Amino acid sequence: MKQEEIFALFMQAEHDDIIYLANEFKKEFDYEIIRKPEQGLVMFRAEETVEKLDFNVGEILMTTAEIKIANVLGYSMIMGMNNEKALDCAVILGVYEAISTQQDKIIKLAKQLKLKNESRLREEREIASSTRVHFEVMGGQDPNVKKYHQG
């Protein structure tokens, strides 16, 4: 599992799912808070589809934190306002980079988070699928519709 995927899984995880591992690391290892959790804004950019122009959709409220553990930085950025979760994520990511013996433990949890996320998305997909519809054209099929569909 790549570090970028691990980062993404932890940043988007429920706090309750990662808190025990963060607490374990906090007790076990010395770490220094380089930047206390604080709120900041990220301007969200999207590409519109008419001319493929980038534009600024609006800002997203984030919480970021940074710690140092064994001279390695641990960085987190999570959506919303949750200082505790931001700090916990920074600790876990810091440990991941600094202490190789702990990586298996982190990857194991990351895999659980991935499964949970996939399960949530699968449920969303199945709920959406239950609303898939085929409207019928009254008075018979418009031949143009078929023509376009067949490309």
Q: Which amino acid is at 136?
A: E
Assigned token pair, 27: 């007790």
Q: Which of 32, 36, 39, 111 binds other proteins (CB under 8 A)?
A: 39
The C-alpha atoms of residue 96 and residue 10 are separated, in whole angstroms, by: 12
Asked if 32 touches other proteins (CB under 8 A), the answer is no
Which of 104/127 has CB closer to other proteins?
Answer: 127
Q: Give the nearest distance from C-beta 100 to other proteins in angstroms.
A: 17
Give Cβ neighbours of residue 34 (< 8 Å, ≥ 6 apart).
66, 67, 68, 73
The C-alpha atoms of residue 84 and residue 20 are separated, in whole angstroms, by: 12
One character per residue 50-79, x = contact with other proteins (rule: CB under 8 A): xxxxxxxxxxxxx-x--------x-x-xxx
Count of chain residues binding other proteins (CB under 8 A): 60
Phi, psi of 58 (to 5 degrees): 160, 175
Asked if 1 touches other proteins (CB under 8 A), the answer is no
Query: What is the footprint of other proteins within residues 76-105 (CB under 8 A)?
Result: 77-81
Residue 27: in which H helix or E strand, if any? helix 15-28
Asked if 31 touches other proteins (CB under 8 A), the answer is no
Asked if 118 touches other proteins (CB under 8 A), the answer is yes
DSSP-derived secondary structure letter, 77: E
Asked if 11 touches other proteins (CB under 8 A), the answer is yes
Q: Which amino acid is at 132?
A: R
User: Which positions lie near other proteins, rule CB under 8 A?
Assistant: 3-4, 7-8, 11-12, 39-62, 64, 73, 75, 77-81, 118, 121-135, 137, 142, 145, 148-149, 151
